[in-house]
Chain A
Amino acid sequence: MIYRHLYRFFLSCCYPIQLSALPSCLVFTLFFSLSSVQAQQPAQRYEGRYRLLDSVTGTAIYDYIMLDGDTVKNGNFRFQQFIEHYQDSDTIHGFVLDGPFTRNVKNGAWRFVSRDFTVSGNPQALDARVVYNVTGEESLLKTTFKSGTVDGQYELLDRKLVDSDAADTTYYAQLSYQMGQPRGTLRGFAPQLQTQGQFDEEGFPHGDWHFTHAQDSAADIIEIRRYDHGFFSKHFYEIDQERYEISHIGFDTLVRSGQGLLTRLPVTSTYFRALEYTELVMDTTALTGLFTDGNLQILLSRSNQFMERVLANPASYRGKNVWQRIEGSKIISPIRIKIRKFPFSDEEKRLNMANEKLLRETRLIIANFLDNPAVQTGRFSQLELARSFAAFRIYESRLTALAPSIAFLVDQAAEYVDHHAILNRKKLALRYPDTISYEFKNANATYSYAFPPSLTNYDVAAINQHLTEVFDDVQRVVHTSGAFLSNVVAQGELTEKEERLIDLRDSVIQLFSEQELTETFTKLHQRFSEPTNLALESTFRDYSLLSVQDRLLAIDSLLSCYQTYGGLHATLANLQQRLDELDAEYTRSIWNAYTYTYMEERVKERLYNIYNDQLIPYLLTALEQNLNCDTLSASLSRIYSLLDRMMELRMEDTRQLEHQLRRAPKDPERYLEIIITN
């Protein structure tokens, strides 16, 4: 910056040509040039592989200077990750992060662009190139940093492309930041929605925020949310210039003295969830046919979704803060609002958590009991089971009714609404009959069952007591039914599962033995046919020697194992295909201008040769020699990790990696480590 001022000074003295001043200008210029040369380190440029802070790797080009033996980014930076899946699905996805640094600090206009494209249409010849159109989605975040702090216009954009043309903008928001705080006006739009609102000096939403909802066949509906320096104080809908106020039952929209201080809360999804818990009250009688409670809720949700994206996650893309993927800037915080909090006491929190757990476990036990085939069949012949089954059905319906309220009470959002007011509007009436009706031996009967007392209010301690009683009763019933059920289960499950096991074993052996006749037969199938058969026969023989109880314990894992062997056949076919694909990927076709023919050449020869000549044989041998249920998945996973990595490396600069491979000892594990972890 100081150089810029000095330069202006130079211009100011030299531009109006004054011969008397010229010598001093020249002396000044000479001095300035020399000092500039001394002060400025020579800029260098890096081009190659780069790993972001979140470990995503790609390629980067950036300028840097050397200071104290360390690289300091100074100048433009551009990172891109680019992955193609032509062979599988003709898709291509990647992202770019670029902008300038000043001595490792973000300074200037920065941009993040993410694109997910699928190749569409037919290839078009353009000169000697083949060009495809693409269809897909594009997301953009753009802003300006000043000394690492966001300062300037901020834009978020999501749009769809069809045949390489922008087809539909699904989200757009534009706001301004001043030294990390939002300022001025936010504007944006989404399908059927336009938004505009203001921030105050402290970065809180302030004034009337307009959400214009376009209606397909009626006049636009303007939703107005009035913020008083971050506090949501009024909510209107405006239709044909008439305003209709909406009350949120349970949400304090009045600043009232003596009601406790307002909490300053960073906007998160919790805030919007709290809004949606509130019950909306609006007089819609004047708007019959135009406005119903249902579409009121839809419009509210649409506005909330728009606001949540820009207020809660201004720097986020798919859950990651895009600016923090590389150092040099302060975190862009969510925008804050003010809200009245209705906190739970510690005891209430403890009981709410306990109630949620009790409810969850009780419902799980009941569901398992009711779904148990032995219960389903045994209840017609066993009196106790018939009665328990009927009682559990009643418990199930009551607990289902209670569940939303319990979920609400354990949600953090419940503290941002008047939870008592909200729950009290929903009358609770968990009542139980004195007798239950059930079917037994083709006849209907009744039985007096000792259910817990009714639950008629949302007092958390009362809920806890009620749920405890239900849980105890359910446990008691399951315990007394246990002996009968275990016998039924053991016999039934074993017979059925052993039939499946034998079918599965035979089908896998069949797959490997008849491969020669099928089109998908590969050398890998032939190679693994015998080891697979041996492994299947051996494990089945071992299983057959077990007792009934031990077989019951072992059969699930053996079934899973045989399914894995079944998958091995398909996996080997796919593996051969992947090997062929990589062969093609690492082959380059070159035009020879003398023979007038294309000639093929191996690309990244050292890397490919190590992969092809050493690593693949090594991993296949390891797979073949350790073909058992415990290691099969892991061994296949290693091969696929290598293939995936090789596919990535095809598009990357591998000079450094190949250099490492050349210097590494001839050890496949070491090669794998270099290739996969590099």
Chain B
Amino acid sequence: MRLKLSTTSFALTLFLMFVLTANAQDERPTEAIKQPLSTAAWNGFYGKFRISDKIFWDAQFHYRRVGNESADYFGQMGQIYNRHAINYLVNERFSVSLGPVLRLNFSPDPGNPEFESLVLEPRIWHEYLFAMPLTRSMIYHRIRIEHRWSRSNAVGADWIFRNRWRYKFYMNIPLNNDKLAPGTVFFTPDVEIIMQNGKKVVDSPLEDLRINPSIGYIINPRIKITAGMMYTTGQTLDAGYLYTNRWIFRTNAYFSLDFRKKESRVPRTRLFD
């Protein structure tokens, strides 16, 4: 698959979107339209640092590039993404998180004076994660809710507020072992649906549908890595009949560290106070 998206075609697409949007009230297409296929590469670093028996600091960082006419997937900067939260482990099968996000959106057309080169996008997010063992695998149900304030990179664009409602189903299925343990290669089927609402969301409640199978490897009890190709599609904000169409190459590294002091079964204060 060789995909090229020139600056001209990008501008044309935007133009079409505006035109179609403007005409939507009067001339709504009779069928959905797919945007031209685009590509991206997301590299994620995920950290969960245990700071007490129940509380973790959840720190995530994404380095995202998008394809352009010069190169698919890695052509230019897309976003930098910082997500943090306090994660509370209710029990070994359920946790909740709450925290801020700051996303840095880079210009879709670097050098074009009509676009700001960098726009910030803050969010507040909270998440509810359910983990369920299934024979030797694990099943996860993740509900994530985000409150986002965003604006496009177009000069003078207005801020808009939206809520995102995300549900994700994924699994970790060990392939070469009977459990998830160091040295295990695992397969992760992963599907996520992202709905949205807000004043500006008129006819595009389905923001994104992500299908993200990946292969992972557990290096040790604290580190695992994954890689996969994600296909996503969803309605564009301004024209509900216009669907995005993306392939995204994803690599992730997950760090699970314990910052607590070592403890003994019998508290030492009892023996050596």
A residues contacting B by CB (< 8 A) are 80, 82, 84, 86, 92, 94, 96, 113, 115, 117, 119, 127-132, 134, 164, 590-597, 599-601
Contact = CB atoms under 8 A, between A and B. Distances in A.
Interface stretch (B76-84, B216-224, B229-237): B216-224
B272 to A, nearest CB: 5
Contact of A92 (B179, B263, B271): B271
10 contacts: A82-B271, A92-B271, A119-B266, A134-B270, A590-B221, A593-B48, A593-B50, A594-B48, A599-B181, A599-B218
Nearest to A590: B221
Interface residues of B, number: 35
Contacts of B272: 80, 82, 94, 96, 113
B87 A593 contact: yes
A600 B221 contact: yes
A593 B221 CA distance: 10
Interface of B: 46, 48, 50, 53-54, 56, 87, 89, 92-93, 131, 133, 138, 140, 172, 179-182, 218, 220-222, 224, 254, 256, 258, 263, 265-268, 270-272
A269 B35 CA distance: 100
Contacts of A591: 50, 92, 256, 258
A593 B256 contact: yes
B271 A594 contact: no
Contacts of B89: 593
Contacts, number: 82
A86 B266 CA distance: 11
Given A594-B46, A599-B180, A601-B221, A129 B267 contact: yes
Nearest 3 A/B pairs, CB to CB: A128-B53, A596-B131, A599-B221
B180 A593 contact: no
A416 B93 CA distance: 76
B256 A132 contact: no
A594 B53 contact: no
B271 A597 contact: no
Nearest to B58: A593
B271 A117 contact: yes
Tell me if A's interface is mostly helix, strand, loop or mixed. Answer: strand
A127 B221 contact: no
Given A134-B266, A595-B224, 11 more contacts: A129-B53, A131-B266, A131-B267, A591-B92, A592-B221, A592-B224, A593-B56, A594-B46, A597-B180, A599-B220, A601-B182
A115 B266 contact: no
Nearest to B260: A128
Contacts of B254: 594
Contacts of A593: 48, 50, 56, 87, 89, 256
Nearest to A164: B270
A592 B138 contact: no
A558 to B, nearest CB: 47
A377 to B, nearest CB: 60
Contacts of B258: 590-591
Contacts of A113: 272
Contacts of B271: 82, 92, 94, 115, 117, 134
A592 B179 contact: no
Contacts of B92: 591, 596
B180 A595 contact: yes
Residue of A117, A591, A593 ringed by the most chain B CB atoms within 10 A: A593
A243 B174 CA distance: 88
Contacts of B265: 86, 129-132
Nearest to A96: B272
Nearest to B133: A597
Given A80-B272, A599-B181, A599-B221, A132 B266 contact: yes
A590 B53 contact: no
Contacts of B267: 129, 131
Contacts of B46: 594
Nearest to A593: B48
Contacts of B180: 592, 595, 597, 599
B138 A597 contact: yes
Nearest to A93: B271
B173 to A, nearest CB: 11
Nearest to A600: B181
A597 B222 CA distance: 11
Contacts of B179: 597
A596 B140 contact: yes
Residue of B54, B93, B180, B258 ringed by the most chain A CB atoms within 10 A: B180
